[in-house]
Structure 1
Amino acid sequence: MGFSGFDILIPVLVVLVIVALFAGAKTVPQGYAYTVERFGRYTRTLTPGLNIIIPFIDRIGARMNMMEQVLDVPTQEVITRDNATVAVDGVAFYQVLNAAQAAYQVADLETAILNLTMTNIRSVMGSMDLDELLSNRDAINERLLRIVDEAAHPWGIKVTRVEIKDINPPENLVESMARQMMAERNKRAQILEAEGRKQAQILEAEGRREAAFRDAEARERQAEAEAKATQMVSEAIAAGDVQAINYFVAQKYTEALATIGSSSNNKIVLMPIEAASLIGSLGGIGAIAKEVFGSGDEATQQPRRHTSARPPVTRPSQE
């Protein structure tokens, strides 16, 4: 039994349909986007999932990774504005937003981003001094991100982050910086020590001033008290009370003798004859005080008793 041409055509058509179905059905994984080219020209972009294209006419052009990717920036030497050579490396993060632009606007996207980042690192960091370079890393990262993202925008990508990982000055420069830091710290310590001494002297001077003010105030009050006592005695004398002046003179005389006797420089005290008379009349001074400050009736009713501390002193006669 022979096969006719129709019998052979049917299996061939079935095979062609199956091949066409497999050729026209395209599955795009999550996080990717495929470009479709028709006779070599871009027509559309396939999103994740099952997609149908015209077999033998359309074909997949570029398979673009739409996830955020990291690009390691190799170490390179940068000469700063103050002619210091440092070794710098970094890292860049980017994400493809437009698969067609990333596929057809630039050739070798990663190499383009890498060269763009390295060029701007040398440009930005070369315009700064070494001290500014080491202390303003955040400002450098922000400036690099703004410049690189603006330059890569036509490529359909978004540069999300540019970070400087290491800044390595030469060893001799590191030693010089360490010595400079030590000298600066010593300077600060000396300044703080001097400030402490200054504050201590100021506080000590203020203490002396306060003490002198208090002493002067005490002397002033003592002088006022003595002036008031003298005024009271003067008023008593003016009123005719002779006993008040006697009491005042006797008190001053006694205080002077006490001062002389308490001196630590003299072991023997020579006293005049009048002093012996004064010592013998201490009881009389007490009686005067009672008459001045005490009750007048009691002083007149009770007789005075005179007891001498020592035998009376007889003066030698002059012949």
Structure 2
Amino acid sequence: MLIDLWRKFLLSLHLRSIFMALVFVAAVSVSAAGQNAAPSGGSGDKKPEQPSGKSSNKSSKKDKLDNATAEQITETTILLYAIPGGRNTMEQIRKTSAEKGKITLTAPDGTISTAKYQRWTIWGNTLGEEKIRLEQEFPNAKYSLIHAEKKVFGVFNDSVFEPRDDARVSFENQIYRGLDGLLRYKENESTLELMGREKYMGVEYFMIDVTDKGGRKTRYFVSVKTFRVMMLDYEENGSKYRRKFYDYNYAQGILVPYITALWIDDKLREEISVGTITFGQKVDEGLFAAN
């Protein structure tokens, strides 16, 4: 029943109103289990005949938002990224995914290279069980990196090879230190820690540290206003990494950043632009085989 009410509420509002409703949900309606959330009469703010009630309601929302926990904030974010059912909707829709787009890489010497890419994914119960194939086609080479059975290997001209350590780690970081590192924290048995708030270029963020079972710690910056993840930070081998997410849009009910950019030590090194993404289509298991 709560899901039905939530669906009707979302359909009745403009997208910006949805964001504000979700802020309210984060403060007062996220359960400890984090499975469902429902609106609680935010439309009452629109009644001019009750100004005192409106003021009191706003104050109550702010107080509860100020006291929100890392789990409440994260569960609200999950709900936003997969409307209307959060992680249940995410699992149902993202059973498989197929994505095409363009990657632009900038080398330390300033050389820029571009590649077309395709990414196929089969949902796993955890990120470690996820099957992912990333195929990159450069002007002079075409190869794939595959994550399956909790390991990474490459395929070039139908031959399997072991990727360089830097290529393997970069690929793994896209998986374990990407959006799903936060959105799937519960399945991955990761820990959450709210590190307070920070303003960056006029935008206020919740800072949430996620530490997975492999010991990877990633800091996610969640907009206080929209509950979207706008960037993330982590450190590795003495370098500081920052990945930013832009051009958000919904695809089949899943919120997708169509542009992501990676900075290493304050220098732009990678930009990924999604052309198309579809969920639920048949994906051949053979794409992830090592033979």
Task: Name whichever structure is richer in helix by fraction.
Answer: 1
TM-score norm. by structure 1 comes to 0.15
TM (normalized to structure 2)? 0.16
Name which structure has the greater RCO, CA cutoff 8 Å, separation 6+.
Answer: 2
